[in-house]
């Protein structure tokens, strides 16, 4: 099964070198609700279905020392939701109403234990971010940060 808008993430902020990863959601011939865990050798597990709302064009990042988060996306229209991923790779149910509904955004870990979602598209390009704290709580929109755009990428560095 090929995913066309797949997102991957690694637990831990700032690319902290944690041993596991997870691929999430995507699109086949329609939106899917699916993940694949990746072990420390890079082996990808079989599909786990039914984790969160089926959607595409979302972002993912690691936070804390060993957790991750999927955020926002589209189900045919933009959504405002996240799904936390625990240290075992289990995806929590949808948390809705976190930031402006949008898609085509990016996310990255920063510091040693936090993450951030950036920009996206709400029907037009936007200029906004949402910080994610060490507990996976997503802050309200911070607008006017950089040029409004979509189809971006993000990465931790330093």
Residues 98-148: tens digit of each pLDDT: 889 999 999 999 998 999 999 999 999 999 999 999 999 999 999 988 899
- Each as own residue / partner, the long-range contacts of residues 48-54 (CB below 8 Å, 24 or more positions apart, any chain) are 48/91, 51/24, 51/83, 51/91, 52/24, 52/25, 52/81, 52/83, 52/91, 52/92, 52/93, 52/94, 53/79, 53/81, 53/94, 54/25, 54/30
- Quote the DSSP letter at residue 103: B
Task: Give me the pLDDT at residue 2, please.
Answer: 47
Task: Report which of residues 150 and 13 the model is more confident about.
Answer: 150
Whose tokens are 């950089």? That residue is 146
Is 49 a domain residue? yes
Task: Report which of residues 80 and 16 the model is more confident about.
Answer: 80
Is 1 a domain residue? no
Is 153 a domain residue? no
Rg, C-alpha atoms of the chain: 14
pLDDT by residue (tens digit) across 2-24?
Answer: 444 555 554 444 445 678 999 99
Is 59 a domain residue? yes
Provide the domain limits for residue 47.
7-143
Task: Give me the pLDDT at residue 52, please.
Answer: 87
Is 58 a domain residue? yes
To the nearest whole number, what is the mean pLDDT of the chain? 88
Task: Report which of residues 31 and 65 the model is more confident about.
Answer: 31
The count of structural domains within the chain is 1
Task: Give me the pLDDT at residue 158, please.
Answer: 82
Task: Give me the pLDDT at residue 7, please.
Answer: 54
Is 155 a domain residue? no
Tokens, residue 56: 């595409």
Task: Report which of residues 13 and 70 the model is more confident about.
Answer: 70
b/e map 128-149, b = 16+ CB within 10 Å:
bbbbbeeebebeebeeeeeebe
CATH assignment of the domain containing 76: 2.120.10.80
Indicate if the pLDDT at residue 87 is higher than 50.
Answer: yes
Task: Give me the pLDDT at residue 146, please.
Answer: 87
């Amino acid at each position: 099964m090929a995913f066309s808008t797949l997102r991957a993430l690694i637990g831990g902020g700032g690319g902290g070198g944690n041993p596991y990863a997870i691929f999430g959601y995507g699109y086949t011939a329609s939106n899917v609700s699916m993940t694949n865990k990746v072990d420390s050798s890079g082996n990808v597990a079989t599909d786990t279905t039914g984790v969160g709302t089926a959607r595409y064009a979302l972002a993912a990042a690691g936070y804390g020392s060993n957790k991750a988060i999927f955020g926002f996306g589209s189900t045919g229209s933009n959504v405002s939701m996240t799904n936390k991923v625990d240290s075992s790779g289990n995806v929590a149910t949808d948390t809705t109403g976190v930031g402006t509904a949008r898609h085509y955004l990016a996310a990255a870990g920063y510091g040693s234990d936090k993450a951030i979602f950036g920009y996206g598209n709400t029907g037009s390009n936007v200029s906004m971010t949402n910080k994610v704290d060490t507990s996976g709580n997503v802050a309200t929109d911070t607008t006017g940060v950089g040029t409004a755009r979509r189809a971006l990428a993000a990465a931790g560095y330093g």
